[in-house]
Amino acid sequence: MSQPAKPAPPAGRANAKKELSEHFKQYKHVWVFVEQERGHVHPVSWELMGSGRRLADKLGVELAAVVIGPAGEATSAAAAESFCYGADLAYIVADDVLTDYRNESYTKALTDLVNTYKPEILLLGATTLGRDLAGAVATTLLTGLTADCTELEVDADNSLAATRPTFGGSLLCTIYTLNFRPQMATVRPRVMEMPERVEKPVGRIIEFPLGMVEDDIVTKILAFVPDRDKATSNLAYADIVVAGGMGLNSLENFQLVRQLAGVLGAEYGCSRPLVQKGWVSADRQIGQTGKTIRPKLYIAAGISGAIQHRVGVDGADLIVAINTDKNAPIFDFAHLAIVTDAIRLLPALTEAFRKRLS
Ligand code: FAD
């Protein structure tokens, strides 16, 4: 996508701009924060590594992974894995104080690293952890952060053009961090494509001390209680997703979506109004303010296809839409359009697949 022209600075600020560009020369390379919790790396980290690699190649600089976690194998393994997804080097801050995510310790680790090695671009996943960390790091460093980007580019003067939806998703805006470094951005899971994993020997590793002890941290972790629903819901990464919208008319009818998903071994999701009605948990919402999905097959039943829903499903390989209205917006982007009553079709589909797959 071609980027809109950036505003020129007022003439009186030309000298300041020159000083700034001298200052910016200290900042080099693209960094990706590798999010890991209890030995599990969030796949958004590797998706960002793909974007980071592309930006680094355009800028002619290195791509670095930043791995923060407890001392031990899981943290080293995450760093080693980052090379398979394109990192040239990995910064590791390993300390048992970092076993579980806490804003204070992770913010210190990341801001100290940035202040020492000065990256020009820093990318994080727009996950619960990533959003919390990115905001704290950006405010501590006094730099700009563009959240929930859908596109990242490098423009003619090598600055980061971070594009994200605005005005309720009806427009896209491109945001620049003109006066501060690093340029920070978060991207939601599944928005960027997963790069191919290529087996590679371990690259350069730079270890960095945390410089903090447990007593310095106000927040204490008393227990770790896994989120049971989260453990079973894999909506963003599912191969098949069946979703329902207001066309289903009731919570009872929404069970038809769950039944079809069950037979197909799929995840189920919904449009936003169903969450607002309290019929389905927010974790299942698909779209701009919900999850972005990239399944091989997406079946949308009784969903109109508003732009805020569409942005969450555009990456699906095959979109099958069931809607009674032949002019519903979802038919503008669905690959297969079925104009019928979803409440009647869903049970028939479930039955047909049950017979076929049993
Ligand atoms: P409706 O718009 O009411 O559409 C129902 C559809 O069902 C219609 O097309 C109708 O023809 C069809 N229908 C009716 N009966 C049947 C039947 N028996 N069988 C088959 N079809 C039938 N929405 C999201 O989904 N995700 C988001 O993340 C999201 N974020 C938003 C963020 C903002 C800032 C705003 C302002 C809005 C957001 N929305 C989001 C809401 C979005 O604008 C739409 O209002 C919403 O997606 C509509 O949901 P729906 O298609 O289920 O309902």
| Digit-coded pLDDT (tens) for 82-131 | 999 999 999 999 999 999 999 999 999 999 999 999 999 999 999 999 99
Phi, psi of 172 (to 5 degrees): -110, 135
Whether 124 and 162 have beta carbons less than 8 Å apart is answered as no
For residue 240 the two structure tokens come to: 């098949």
Ligand 1 center to residue 191 CA distance, Å? 21
> First CA to last CA across the chain, in angstroms?
46
Quick one: pLDDT at residue 216? Answer: 96
Confidence of residue 254 (pLDDT cuts 50, 70, 90): very high
Average pLDDT, the chain: 93
> Atom of ligand 1 at shortest distance to CA of 341?
19
Q: Can you tell me the distance from the alpha carbon of 155 to that of 177, in angstroms, rounded to the nearest whole number?
A: 12
* Shortest-distance Cα residue to atom 34 of ligand 1: 168
For residue 198 the two structure tokens come to: 């290529």
> Is 269 marked as binding a ligand?
no
Pairing of strands 121-125, 30-34: parallel
Which ranges of 65-102 does DSSP label H, i.e. alpha helix?
73-84
Quick one: pLDDT at residue 1? Answer: 46
pTM (2 d.p.): 0.85
Q: Ligand 1: does its nearest atom lie under 6 Å from the Cβ of 148?
A: no
Whether 293 and 299 have beta carbons less than 8 Å apart is answered as no
Q: What is the DSSP string of 230-245?
A: HHH--GGG-SEEEEE-
> Atom of ligand 1 at shortest distance to CA of 273?
49
Cα-only R_g, the chain: 23
> Is 69 marked as binding a ligand?
no
> Is 324 marked as binding a ligand?
no
Confidence of residue 138 (pLDDT cuts 50, 70, 90): very high
pLDDT in tens, 3-20: 555 555 555 667 888 888
Quick one: pLDDT at residue 9? Answer: 55
Ligand 1 center to residue 242 CA distance, Å? 15
**Alpha-carbon distances of 325 from 44, 253, 308, rounded to whole Å:** 36, 18, 19
Average pLDDT, stretch 46-70?
Answer: 98
Confidence of residue 358 (pLDDT cuts 50, 70, 90): confident
* Shortest-distance Cα residue to atom 23 of ligand 1: 272
Average pLDDT, stretch 245-259?
Answer: 98
Quick one: pLDDT at residue 232? Answer: 55
Instruction: Indicate if the pLDDT at residue 199 is higher than 80.
Output: yes
Q: Ligand 1: does its nearest atom lie under 6 Å from the Cβ of 127?
A: no
Instruction: Indicate if the pLDDT at residue 322 is higher than 60.
Output: yes
Closest CA to 338 of 311, 307, 299: 299
pLDDT in tens, 275-309: 999 999 999 999 999 999 999 999 999 999 999 99
Ligand 1 center to residue 193 CA distance, Å? 26
Confidence of residue 80 (pLDDT cuts 50, 70, 90): very high
Average pLDDT, stretch 249-262?
Answer: 97
Q: Ligand 1: does its nearest atom lie under 6 Å from the Cβ of 194?
A: no
Whether 249 and 227 have beta carbons less than 8 Å apart is answered as no
DSSP H or E run through 68: strand 63-69
Is the preceding peptide bond at 182 cis, omega within 30 degrees of 0?
A: yes
Q: Which of 87-96, 221-230, 239-248 has the lowest mean pLDDT?
A: 221-230
Ligand 1 center to residue 272 CA distance, Å? 7
Closest CA to 243 of 203, 207, 201, 286: 286
Closest CA to 118 of 24, 244, 49, 238: 24
